[in-house]
Structure 1
Amino acid sequence: MSLTLTGIPARRGGLALRAAGIVLILVAAPLAGICIGETRIPVGTVAQVLANRLWDAGYPVDPIDEGIIWAYRLTRALVAGACGAGLAICGVILQSLLRNALADPYLLGISAGASTGAVLVAVAGLGAAFLPMSAGALIGALLAFALVTMLARLAGGGAGARGAGQIVLAGIAGSQLFNALTSFIIARSANAEQARGIMFWLLGNLSGVRWDDVRLALPAALLAVAVGLWHVRALDAFTFGAESAASLGVPVRRVQAVLILAAAMATAVMVSIVGSIGFVGLVVPHAARFLVGVRHARLVPAAALIGMVFLIAADILSRVMVPGQVLPIGVVTALVGAPVFALILIRRRSAP
């Protein structure tokens, strides 16, 4: 009897409880993003608007409230959640592949490269007939990652603290280069109004997102999470090095290419929609490891969930921190991420 009570039924009960908790978080986080803002909106009003839009329920709702909820706050919350989950998965993938706790799309210059590609397409007139902003951002992200990797190898970066320092330095150099290219493109091709809008967008801007952006961001985030979940065993193996992964039967080059492409794609899509948002891919994976451990079967979904909640919370803070003004969301993530980055550096220095 004790085996029955503490065995398979107990495990099933634990799984059901965790699944219910995940569903609750998936519903509660976007709901908080809708209700909390410059003006508070009751949960009942949100539920009525969603029922009217999804099932034509016919509840009497103020058209202004309906427009704010459906066309502004709901899309903003969904894009913020997708962006947070996607960037968190990018951080998990890069930290595993590079065996570097400091790796993330922002610090490695991938976000800067994606910004350059997106701005080049938007401002220089390359996207009208040839490729969209997300494709330009993807090309820029891949070029930035290739440049940073090459610089780190030329500098003699390997395993250990020296390798970690070299790739961070290479990432800083790559970020500065692509940020300079972005500034040059803006100064050369953009008018004053375009330049002002682009500079605000580069700091991370969710104000202009619409349903077309949701239809782009959600699939990109889900694809990144799916790729990460599909390769959890390979990611576990890569934490011990590429040689160890190969000895365990992992097709190293093919898996590396797929994972890097997925990380670059997710970063490029998010940057093309909301601009460059830093430190999400750095902070969230460390928080997830603290909560669920280092096994990627748990780490990948936990990082995606925490990243979603983190960026929705950051978006809420960006709207309420300064009364009457919406801050760029990148400012909020930097205020959280920079101190955490410093703590990680100090901890790595004190580690044996």
Structure 2
Amino acid sequence: MTVLSGALGRGALPATLVLAALAVIALAVGVSVGIGDLPIPLTTTLAALTNRLGWTAVEISRIHETVIWDYRLSRALVAAFCGAGLALSGAIMQALLRNPLAEPYVLGISAGASTGAVAVVILGLGSGAVSLSAGAFLGAFAAFLFVALLSGGTRGGADRTILAGVAASQLFNAATSYVVTTSGNAQQARDVMFWLLGSFGGVRWPEFALVSVVVGAGLVACLLHSRVLDAFAFGDEAAAAMGVHVERTRLVLFSLIAVMTATIVSMVGSIGFVGLVVPHVARFLVGPLHVRLLPACALIGAVFMVLADIASRVLIPQQVLPIGVVTALVGVPFFSVILYRLQRPA
């Protein structure tokens, strides 16, 4: 904690603002837990939580308690951490590549994860020993390694990395489409497509434990590099002149992004626009300094994803939309605004 505090120094987000944001996240999670075929009041959710912590002994329905603890609370918390991780990864990508349109999937991780998932679900690779999440994780890292080799590793510039990511995405997307169209039946294709658009329906406490550790550790590691990321804003040569080991820093941060994004995609599928839009919103609110930007991205991303998960369950009665559809409905207008601002003359 002392090392982290010293690394952040002055300029960090005020504690009161962080606490207020955490309160908003807690409220959003509480509302999310209450939404479903069995509505649960916010007070009941709070009572179930305090009962489990041993603070109270309020009488609540056994059915409500089961639904809260076995299904909905873990789902809402996983959504919060996934949103935080994707937004954080997007902010790092935009800093390293010096491109306002960069986002976590630039490295081809989403496309690789989809190929890995399809290989398990449709081709049956692993003979049942490899789960869909494990296959997606392996595919994501295969895509990351492909991009690293194609771009020249840490010596490759930003433009070369982006081009390598585009090539990897096209290659793995083509492989996914080929497998689905030639080997899968209609139901398998439908299941794969729903997964590719993102869903929190199957996540439980084991997934929460994993994603909370990965995203939490990633946030701390990125905060330790906050001043280095500020130096990258002036270009690689300027960063090197300031004493930054450019190649090593790129390797560390790209690896962090790969681990966080691969973990998230392997659990819930590909959820677009969060890593692209949220960093711009956070930058507008708190400025470009990464000591403030990174925590803001994590907090805003968490709120946004929980709200998107709520919207996916209430927009169409008796039907759950893929979470990627909801984030796209919000993200495309923001993306259009970003493009418009980039086209305006200075």
Report the TM-score, using the length of structure 2 for normalisation. 0.85
Cα RMSD (Å) of the superposition?
2.8
1:61-140 equivalent positions in 2, closer than 5 A: 61-107=60-106, 109-127=108-126, 128-129=128-129, 132-133=134-135, 135-140=137-142
Counterpart of 1:321?
315
Distance 1:175 1:333, change over 3 A: same
Distance 1:344 1:203, change over 3 A: same
Gaps of at least 5 residues in structure 2 are 1-9
Distance 1:214 1:134, change over 3 A: farther
1:255-266 equivalent positions in 2, closer than 5 A: 255-266=249-260
State the distance in 1 between where 2:253 and 2:175 align.
Answer: 27
State the distance in 1 between where 2:180 and 2:221 align.
Answer: 35
Shift of 1:34: 1.3
Counterpart of 1:186?
180
Distance 1:23 1:310, change over 3 A: closer
The amino acid that maps onto 1:142 is F
State the distance in 1 between where 2:138 and 2:193 align.
Answer: 18
State the distance in 2 between where 1:148 and 1:333 align.
Answer: 30
State yes or no: 1:231 paired with 2:225.
yes
Per-residue deviation, residues 179-199 of structure 1 (Å, max 9, x unmatched): 221222334554554433222
Shift of 1:40: 3.4
SS in 1 for 2:179: helix
State the distance in 1 between where 2:162 and 2:345 align.
Answer: 18
Per-residue deviation, residues 24-66 of structure 1 (Å, max 9, x unmatched): 1342232222123455321111022223334395433222222
Shift of 1:200: 0.8
Distance 1:351 1:55, change over 3 A: farther
Per-residue deviation, residues 140-166 of structure 1 (Å, max 9, x unmatched): 34146437847xx99xxx78xxx5xx8
Shift of 1:17: 2.5
CA contact (8 A) 2:108 2:166 kept: yes
The amino acid that maps onto 2:180 is I
1:6-21 equivalent positions in 2, closer than 5 A: 15-21=14-20
State the distance in 1 between where 2:52 and 2:180 align.
Answer: 40
State the distance in 1 between where 2:149 and 2:309 align.
Answer: 32
The amino acid that maps onto 1:133 is G
State the distance in 2 between where 1:106 and 1:228 align.
Answer: 18
Distance 1:50 1:121, change over 3 A: same
Which of 167, 179, 191 is the aligned partner of 1:197? Answer: 191
1:246-257 equivalent positions in 2, closer than 5 A: 246-257=240-251
The amino acid that maps onto 2:16 is L
State the distance in 1 between where 2:83 and 2:15 align.
Answer: 25
Which of 295, 301, 306 is the aligned partner of 1:307? Answer: 301
Counterpart of 1:293?
287
Per-residue deviation, residues 121-158 of structure 1 (Å, max 9, x unmatched): 454444455793364144134146437847xx99xxx7
The amino acid that maps onto 1:278 is G
Is 257-266 or 101-110 further displaced after alignment? 101-110
Report the TM-score, using the length of structure 1 for normalisation. 0.84
1:261-276 equivalent positions in 2, closer than 5 A: 261-276=255-270
SS in 2 for 1:106: helix
CA contact (8 A) 2:109 2:140 kept: no
Gaps of at least 5 residues in structure 1 are 1-10
Counterpart of 1:211?
205
Shift of 1:18: 2.5
Distance 1:332 1:178, change over 3 A: same
CA contact (8 A) 2:78 2:208 kept: yes
Distance 1:218 1:119, change over 3 A: farther
Distance 1:297 1:42, change over 3 A: same
Shift of 1:68: 2.0
Which of 239, 248, 268 is the aligned partner of 1:245? Answer: 239
Counterpart of 2:3?
none
Distance 1:58 1:186, change over 3 A: farther
State the distance in 2 between where 1:218 and 1:74 align.
Answer: 14
SS in 2 for 1:223: helix
